[in-house]
Amino acid sequence: MRVTKAQAQLNRAHIVETASRLFRERGYDGVGVADLMAAAGFTHGGFYKHFRSKADLMAEAAACGLSQSMTNYAGLGAAAFFDHYVSREHRDDRSVGCTMAALCGDAARQSDEVKATFAEGIENALTALGRTAAQQDDEQRQAARAKMIDRLARAVGAVVLSRACPDESPLADEILEVCHRQLLESLAP
């Protein structure tokens, strides 16, 4: 039975979403093409009908995950974003959590295409979090951007460091608590 173009597009989107979830959960090296396709409900051979390589899928899955993160946090102010982001709930939910916290370390060792996807996602996050007043001059905007880069890096780093500890480690919670408190204090007027 022949697959329609529309169904092929839906299948590809399903594979990308499945890959995005699995990559966040296991890392890029922890997911093989055969396992990925099985999780998506397709055969291994069908992979190359949709993608030239695993690297192509990694970039597309990263874009999907980064976009989903932005959608999940849309409309939240910086304080509400960091309140949720630097939390045990987010830390423990790798497969649906932030792609940056899950894969930035892996992305650093990938192709320029994957790195460019992450750079775009980071830039989008900074833009969404760093809405500045129109009356600010360039120097004020640059200072506000520098502060937001620091905050985002601290938030991502807190989740990464906490995940590197055993799940029930007091240090894992301490990292989140300290960074959470410092981030929210940095946002206070």
| Token pair in block for residue 112 | 């320029």
Which residues span the domain enclosing 130?
A: 5-187
CA–CA separation, 142 and 120 (whole Å)? 18
CATH number reported for the structural domain that contains residue 169 in this entry: 1.10.357.10
Q: What is the pLDDT of residues 5-59, one digit of tens each?
A: 888 899 999 999 999 999 999 999 999 999 999 999 998 888 988 999 999 999 9
Q: What is the pLDDT of residue 134?
A: 57
With vertex at residue 127, the alpha carbon angle to CA 105 and CA 84, rounded to the nearest 5 degrees, is 65
Check: CB of residue 122 under 8 Å from CB of residue 148: no
Q: What is the pLDDT of residue 74?
A: 82
Q: What is the pLDDT of residue 131?
A: 72
pLDDT bin (cut points 50, 70, 90) of residue 95 is: confident
The average pLDDT across 119-147 equals 85
The radius of gyration of the chain from alpha carbons, rounded to an integer in Å, stands at 18
Q: What is the pLDDT of residues 98-123, one digit of tens each?
A: 999 999 999 999 999 999 999 999 99
Q: What is the pLDDT of residue 132?
A: 58
Number of domains into which the chain is organized: 1
Q: What is the 3-state secondary structure (H, E, C) of 35-97?
A: HHHHHHCCCHHHHHHHCCCHHHHHHHHHHHHHHHHHHHHCCCCHHHHHHHHCCHHHHHCCCCC
CA atoms within 13 A on the CB side of 83: 8
| Token pair in block for residue 167 | 């799940």
